[in-house]
A and B are shown apart, each in its own frame.
Chain A
């Protein structure tokens, strides 16, 4: 019985380790594309998610992109995507992101923009 219990513990451990890669979500990196250094916005700020360039004038200030594209590192749902990039967009001082999607409609890249006054 004792041996059975110990085996069960190891099984649990093995299961957790096996699930580890699945726990890893998509990861977006951010890069500045302009000399402009903008003041960061408040943490948890609200920003627009646009499917096309807006009619208002804007500056492109940076780009969000997946670190690795081959192994499912792009986000599929808008909520998941927004949650993942919120800190980076707010820190960059962005008002909105213009998203580009791949053929599976996942978020492949986003340009962080700041509206001109």
Chain B
């Protein structure tokens, strides 16, 4: 028997090479997807069981937030795209996969049947802190669409330590807030109030930015023996209307210029480290309607074109290799993305 000629082998090899070399995804990546529905979520997934471990903290975080800071702002059902870690990395980069474990998108670019009222994208590493952070962005976007970026990140980071107690029948269910998170460094308040979304992304200091915002919220809520709370509520109401932070601060806190707030905020943090706050510093009862749905999700198939469109639109997001975990509606415009 004659051996195949070299040229034939080379041709076969090249055909195989060209085929394998340009396959960027497994065959049929958009087939076989399902939506898993609970009381508050519609989670799109191609996994069998592992999505449940992320759906549960999302339900708990929803119940806790809907009972505390975001009462009377129903946003259910929240749409969630659940990706396994490697797919998440391909979609949104290594940093987000390792740090924030998810992103919150107010509106995907283009149009489609999924994600038009917002979308959370997470992988299996997301736990209750991530779930609360992402959901806070979604609640705030509905409640105060004009709120500045720092308010978003401040609230979203502040609620990362939220807990739901008594949700499994061990007493009345309550949401607990008011613990400070990890002791990251802070940035100047002038930066916090002025950075654009693009600047925030490129700063390489996203966690410091978030910590500073969260600390400022805590100072306004708990600092100076709680005497700032009323004016803080007015501040938030004005910022929700899109007013400028520094102008409103100067008007509502004439006795506290920004450098003084910054100094006292840092003192408040130092002081807080010395005084344990107890198990539940700020307690909010959970109404029966808001309780977390811990039952089995109901699964149904999703048409392949819907998933294909969903992936295409998610890939059109800006700064996919970047650091931000929140995509407000305004970044649908390239001018906002590139704004200094």
Contact = CB atoms under 8 A, between A and B. Distances in A.
Contacts of B25: 67-68
B18 interface: yes
Contacts of A108: 319-321
Interface in B196-218: 202
A30 to B, nearest CB: 9
Contact of A20 (B3, B20, B91, B109): B20
B13 A33 contact: no
B17 A53 contact: no
A44 B321 CA distance: 30
Interface in A1-54: 6, 9, 12-13, 16-17, 19-24, 27, 29, 31-33, 52-53
A111 B89 CA distance: 23
Interface in B307-325: 312-313, 315-322
B318 A12 contact: no
B64 to A, nearest CB: 33
B24 A67 contact: yes
A70 B89 contact: yes
A85 interface: no
A20 B23 CA distance: 10
Interface string B6-26: 100110111011101111110
B338 A100 contact: yes
A9 B9 CA distance: 8
Nearest to A73: B24
A100 B313 contact: no
B170 interface: no
A47 to B, nearest CB: 15
Chain B interface SS verdict (over half): helix
Contacts of A53: 334-335, 338
Contact of A6 (B3, B12, B92): B3
Contacts of B21: 20-24
A23 B18 contact: yes
Contacts of A114: none
Contacts of B10: 12-13, 16
A105 interface: no
A60 interface: yes
Which of B3, B9, B332, B334 counts the most chain A CB atoms within 10 A?
A: B334
B9 A12 contact: yes
Contacts of A65: 315-317, 320
Contacts of B320: 65-66, 69, 108-109
B48 to A, nearest CB: 24
Contacts of B313: 31
B109 A17 contact: no
Given A16-B14, A68-B24, A70-B90, A31 B316 contact: yes
Contact of A27 (B3, B24, B93, B312): B24
B334 A111 contact: yes
Contacts of B17: 16-17, 19-20, 23
B333 interface: yes
A98 B334 contact: yes
A13 B9 contact: yes
Given A13-B13, A67-B315, 15 more contacts: A12-B6, A16-B13, A17-B13, A20-B20, A22-B21, A23-B18, A23-B22, A24-B21, A29-B315, A31-B312, A63-B316, A65-B316, A70-B93, A100-B318, A108-B320
Interface of B: 3, 6, 9-10, 12-14, 16-18, 20-25, 89-94, 109-110, 202, 312-313, 315-322, 332-335, 337-338
